[in-house]
């Protein structure tokens, strides 16, 4: 196929059609050809001005598509779903070739998960209400990301550049493995669970080595560290529309429901409500989940003025 010179502004218009999914097969081929020539001006059919427009538009699009989704509106959600596919596929390839000079931020909104491919081909799946910050020039000298929330990592091996996840007061270092990190700001505990390989977790001034099937739980209030074991079939089940409340307080469970459902929840509880619960749900109607929690925890709840109000069993109302 020939790839003729575009008129002024043509590159930007055609790129927009490509990113919106409206390009014809011939136009798709032309844009993909441009991708392959951005670093080789001699073979590019674009003028220097058009090459600059194309490269800047690509980078701006990748960063823009990391903004939170809006799952309350189905049509908007479908548009964001298409953007997620772009970011995980072509977007990952673009990050590999054009590493931003500034940190990149990927976020998920209420009830949304997102999968991205990092420049080193590692894959990260973010749970709802999470933020991943990718260091500038990722992979050039180190591979460091910062996580607020929950994510499942499948890391591409690179012994010369250890992969590090900074999450709250903890840092998890890996050489090549798959593992889950849960570390929401304000949560009682941060956890690391390994499904294969090994990781090293720096916590409370010590280093802990975890192999597959092993977990580490760090209490954000007391600094207590507990190592344990977990069935790897349960690790990261949130990726398959499961809600796993593992040793969670009522406050933790309500916080998770607010991340997973587009509803406002007001919780009335007391300092004596310190019980921890272990229960798993398939992601379904929130009222079905609340009905089960009513029997399990003794809560009562009502819907009023567009929000759900929950009362713990020790709260007088």
pLDDT exceeds 50 at position 95: no
Q: Within a domain: residue 5? A: no
Please indicate, yes or no, if residue 114 is contained in any of the structural domains: no
Tell me which residue range forms the domain holding 273. 241-317
Backbone angles phi, psi at 78, to 5 degrees: -65, -40
Q: How far apart are CA 163 and CA 139, in angstroms?
A: 9
Which residues are paired to 181 by β-bridges?
151, 192
Residues 106-146: tens digit of each pLDDT = 999 999 999 999 988 899 999 999 999 998 888 888 899 99
Residue 74 phi, psi (nearest 5): -60, -45
Give me the pLDDT at residue 233, please.
80
- Residue 270 falls inside a structural domain: yes
pTM of the model: 0.68
Q: Is residue 285 part of a domain?
A: yes
Number of domains in the chain: 1
What is the per-residue pLDDT for 25? 73
Please give the pLDDT value at position 183. Answer: 96
68 pLDDT higher than 90: no
**Structural domain contains residue 291:** yes
Q: Which of 49-53, 202-206, 225-229 has the lowest mean pLDDT?
A: 49-53
Q: Are 244 and 229 in contact (CB under 8 A)?
A: no
Of residues 16 and 204, which shows the higher confidence score?
Answer: 204
pLDDT given at position 89? 34
**Residue 95 falls within a domain, yes or no?**
no
Say if 141 falls within a structural domain: no
3-17 pLDDT, tens digit each: 444 444 566 677 667
| Segment 146-155, tens digit of pLDDT | 999 999 999 9
Q: Answer yes or no: is pLDDT of 245 > 80.
A: yes
Q: What is the pLDDT of residue 288?
A: 92
* Mean pLDDT confidence for 254-271: 95
CATH label of the domain that carries residue 299: 3.55.50.30
User: For position 214, what pLDDT does the model report?
Assistant: 94
- The pLDDT value given to residue 6: 46
* Mean pLDDT, range 265-272, rounded to an integer: 94
Average of per-residue pLDDT across 300-309:
94
Within-domain flag for 25: no
């Amino acid at each position: 196929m020939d790839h003729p010179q575009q008129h002024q502004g043509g590159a930007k218009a055609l790129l927009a059609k490509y990113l919106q999914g409206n390009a014809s097969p011939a136009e798709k081929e032309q844009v993909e050809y441009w991708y392959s020539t951005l670093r080789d001006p001699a073979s590019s059919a674009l003028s220097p001005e058009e090459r600059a427009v194309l490269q800047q538009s690509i980078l701006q699009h990748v960063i823009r598509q990391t903004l939170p989704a809006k799952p309350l509106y189905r049509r908007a959600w479908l548009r964001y779903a298409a953007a997620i596919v772009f970011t995980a596929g072509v977007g990952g390839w673009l990050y590999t070739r054009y590493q931003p000079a500034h940190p990149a931020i990927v976020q998920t909104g209420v009830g949304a998960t997102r999968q991205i491919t990092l420049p080193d081909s590692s894959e990260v799946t973010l749970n709802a209400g999470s933020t991943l910050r990718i260091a500038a020039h990722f992979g050039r000298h180190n591979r460091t990301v910062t996580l607020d929330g929950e994510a499942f990592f499948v890391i591409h091996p690179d012994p010369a550049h250890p992969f590090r996840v900074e999450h709250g007061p903890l840092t998890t270092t890996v050489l090549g493995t798959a593992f889950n990190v849960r570390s929401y700001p304000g949560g009682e505990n941060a956890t690391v669970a390994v499904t294969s390989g090994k990781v090293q977790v720096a916590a409370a001034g010590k280093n802990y080595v975890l192999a597959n099937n092993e977990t580490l739980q760090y209490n954000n209030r007391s600094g207590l560290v507990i190592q344990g074991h977990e069935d790897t079939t349960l690790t990261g089940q949130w990726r398959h529309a499961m809600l796993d409340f593992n040793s969670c307080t009522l406050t933790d469970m309500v916080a998770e429901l607010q991340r997973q459902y587009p509803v406002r929840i007001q919780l009335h509880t007391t300092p004596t409500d310190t019980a921890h619960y272990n229960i798993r749900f398939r992601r379904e109607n929130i009222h079905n989940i609340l009905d089960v929690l009513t029997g399990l925890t003794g809560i009562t709840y009502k819907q009023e003025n567009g929000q759900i109000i929950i009362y713990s069993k020790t709260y007088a109302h």
